Structure 1
Amino acid sequence: MKIRLLLFLMIFLGFHAGITSAESPLTAAFIRDHQLWIKQGDKEVQLTKDAYVRSPKWSYDGHFIAYTDGEESGERSELYIYDMEKRESFQHYPHVNTFSFKWSPVRNQLAYTDGTLLNITREKNGRPQGFENVSLGVSSFEWTPNGKEFIVSAESSLTPAGWEPIHLFKVASDANLSQDKIHPFYTIQTNESDLFAIYANDFKWSYDGKWLSMIAIPTASWSNDSNSLCVIDNQGRQFQKVGNMLGFGDWVKWAPASNQLAYISGEGRFFVKDKKTAIADMPAIKNEKVYTPEGYVDLDLEWLSPNEVIVARAKENLEWNEGPVPSMYTALYVIDIGSSIQKQITFPKKGQLDRNPLLVGDQLTWMRRSSEYRPGEVWVKDGVNGEEYVWLKNIEEAPVFYKKRGN
């Protein structure tokens, strides 16, 4: 009897372990025909009708999706929230017009800017409802990893003597406009010969929260060709410019388990040349190394592991200098940053391009299109050696995957 019971427990525990260790099905929010959809495993569901959806974002626990619904022109951009449990969209407050909103990293609380006013949502019956003011004069912001504060940037002002410095502040999430809870964090001194910018954007924390990267952005025409990637430590003491790049936040990514910053460096608004993958080590931006071979450009990147980076790579086009900008037909490559060994891992057909690589758990996903401006497909494979397959069709931009904390 004891032997039978022991065998039963071993079989049960083994079966249970197999379930809990199995790869969870992918879950993503995406846009098709301007509507919000989700896909969980193999099931697709349309969530909105008669809308013009942009920028879906998952709450930290996957209970809600925030998005904006507006006009194709972008003149109106109202904030909505979809409740996954109740299967309905709602507004936490009527007619909030915003282009910048971010979920707290620790709770279902949404922060957003309304003009230059930073607000956060209250909670009622487990859902975001109503709002509280946080701070005035905010051009961009990011939650701190503990969800208790923000780092905010105030846009520089033009004076007869030139542009003022960029001021960064640390603001308590419950500041409610109180100056007692708003403190200077760092002042970025700018000049036209080295670091010219009027505000900072695209804040990202390193894996351990010790470093914060940002893109310092100059005036509009200048920013199309060059911006400054900068880093600062979490105490607001060590600040340094890392390099020049275009203003694409997805072209900057921290390593998953070290204070290494990968980014695509280079100037010039056209993708035909001078876009190189570089990796900088903190704290002193020491040992920065460029990995893109001569004659090529990299146009997207993602960390595959602590020692490997995925890039979307194409050959340079040095012949083009006028007329319609040519498409850069990228494929994905993996770079071993220790050995510098690089190999191609996707093989799109002629006239196709692979972009937007993203690691979700152990699965590598990317967008495949026939043109940068046409709907495309999402492809998936397990790591770099798994069999690839199409997971989503006819979508307008890369999906937003729900990634559990720690993935």
Structure 2
Amino acid sequence: MVIRILLLLVFLCFDFSVPIKAEVPLTAAFIRDHQLWLKNGKQEIQLTKGQYVYSPKWSYDGRFIAYIDGDKQGEKSNLFIYDTKKQENYQPYVTIQTSDFKWSPNKNQLAYNAGGVLNVTKEKDGRPEGFENVSLGVSDFEWFPNGKEFIVSSQANLLPTGWGPVHLFRIPVDANLDPAKIKPFYTIQTNTSDLFAISADFFKWSFDGKWVSFLATPTASWSNDSNTLCVLSSLGEQFQAIGKMLGYKDWMKWAPSSNQLAYISGEGRFFVENKKSKIAELPSSAQQKEYTPRGYVDLDIEWFSKDKVIVSRAKENKEWKEGPVPTMYTALFTINLKSEEQEQISYPKKSELDVNPQVVGSHITWFRKKDKGNKGDVWQKETLNSEEYIWLKNVDSAPVFYRKNK
């Protein structure tokens, strides 16, 4: 009996002292030869045939992937949904033409902008199907974190005296075009000397939902060279202009667990110079730290952790003045915000460039392509210090990962 008890105690101690770590496979939607594919772990599955797919986006629970079926000429942009449970593609309505669509943060409801009309899908048999009108006159929009309302921008009007202000609204999902339910949220007063804009785009919420960032965008030609990065508090009471940057939505990203906004600052449409990584801390953004070394430009940015940022970096090319725009050959670097140490973590060949870094847990992925051509491979490192390897071959663009905690 004593021996049995001792053996049982040894077994229990061994059982509870050895942690079981299950490797969670990455799940991603991606485009190859204009078709939608799914990768779960090591398995790749083609989901469409004979279409021209772009902009895949995951629903909050990972059951659905919404995407656009377009064409080479850009003359159509039909909204489709792939149902991973039923393993089929379908249209939520007979024909929905849109290029701006977003899933609710907490339910399988899809909102989309069709010609300035904001709509939301209804539900049928557990799937988004049909639609209801929400609001007219919409330039851009984003869900509030509660999934019950939208922040909506309306483009400024051109008056005989010049451009008017940009209006932001707070609109409930069930507004159904009722003006009484649509509430003013904030008015951006613009002028040509300080902050000039005719629209607000690319809304993004901070991790705790207390701040929303966006770009105040001027007229088309001007916006190619400069836009104003702004933040607004969730109650519409505190507004700040953070800095100038180009109109790339992935060049501004909130920290995963703090109200820090990383972005790539700088004016001028060409990437050859003046593109620097900065961090703005809210609520006071007056003092901003610049992290790009002299002689370099940063052309993509991603948070790895609360103290580390990953950038896609190349050497400046100030010598270029005219002729074909030179390719900026980028590699990935980490920036330690506390120690300010910086380290290269990817090593493309001479004719390659690494772009679109993404972090999923401890995994780091990026899109590696050659100078000529748009296709490339997706590479991965399982930790910052691990070896890099190819995760996806011959794809059209960077994948879109399903993140359960997003």
Is 1:171 aligned with 2:198?
A: no
Residue identity opposite 2:300 in structure 1: D
CA shift for structure 1 position 229: 0.4
- The 5 A counterparts of 1:106-125 are 106-125=106-125
Is 1:286 aligned with 2:286?
A: yes
Provide the identity percentage: 62
In 2, Cα distance between equivalents of 1:148 and 1:23? 35
Is 1:317 aligned with 2:317?
A: yes
In 1, Cα distance between equivalents of 2:147 and 2:210? 15
- The 5 A counterparts of 1:7-406 are 18=20, 21-371=21-371, 373-406=373-406
Structure 1 length-normalised TM: 0.96
8 Å CA contact 1:116–1:137 kept in 2: the answer is yes
Provide the aligned C-alpha RMSD in A.
Answer: 1.5
Residue identity opposite 1:182 in structure 2: I
CA shift for structure 1 position 386: 1.1
Equivalent position SS for 2:80: strand
CA shift for structure 1 position 59: 0.4
Structure 1 residue runs of 5 or longer lacking an equivalent are none
Residue identity opposite 1:279 in structure 2: I
Residue identity opposite 2:242 in structure 1: V
Deviates more, 1:197-206 or 1:371-380: 371-380
CA deviation profile, 1:256-297 (whole Å, cap 9, x unmatched)? 111110000001111111100010111121321111111100
Instruction: Write out the 4+ residue segments of structure 1 that deviate beyond 6 Å after TM superposition.
Output: 4-15
Structure 2 residue runs of 5 or longer lacking an equivalent are none
Equivalent position SS for 1:268: coil
In 1, Cα distance between equivalents of 2:107 and 2:126? 11
In 1, Cα distance between equivalents of 2:82 and 2:9? 48
In 1, Cα distance between equivalents of 2:205 and 2:198? 21
Matched length? 403
In 2, Cα distance between equivalents of 1:215 and 1:323? 30
Q: Residues 62 and 10 from structure 1, CA distance in 2 versus in 1: closer, same or farther, beyond 3 angstroms?
A: farther
In 2, Cα distance between equivalents of 1:152 and 1:283? 22
CA shift for structure 1 position 10: 6.4
In 1, Cα distance between equivalents of 2:14 and 2:32? 45
8 Å CA contact 1:327–1:372 kept in 2: the answer is no
CA shift for structure 1 position 385: 0.3
In 2, Cα distance between equivalents of 1:272 and 1:50? 38
CA deviation profile, 1:364-402 (whole Å, cap 9, x unmatched)? 111111127421111111221011110001111110011
Q: Residues 335 and 372 from structure 1, CA distance in 2 versus in 1: closer, same or farther, beyond 3 angstroms?
A: farther
Q: Residues 274 and 132 from structure 1, CA distance in 2 versus in 1: closer, same or farther, beyond 3 angstroms?
A: same
Q: Residues 286 and 305 from structure 1, CA distance in 2 versus in 1: closer, same or farther, beyond 3 angstroms?
A: same
CA deviation profile, 1:348-378 (whole Å, cap 9, x unmatched)? 1111111111101110111111127421111
Equivalent position SS for 1:221: helix
In 2, Cα distance between equivalents of 1:139 and 1:5? 68
8 Å CA contact 1:260–1:279 kept in 2: the answer is yes
In 2, Cα distance between equivalents of 1:159 and 1:280? 35
In 1, Cα distance between equivalents of 2:109 and 2:30? 21
In 2, Cα distance between equivalents of 1:361 and 1:195? 38
In 2, Cα distance between equivalents of 1:50 and 1:247? 32
In 1, Cα distance between equivalents of 2:8 and 2:120? 55
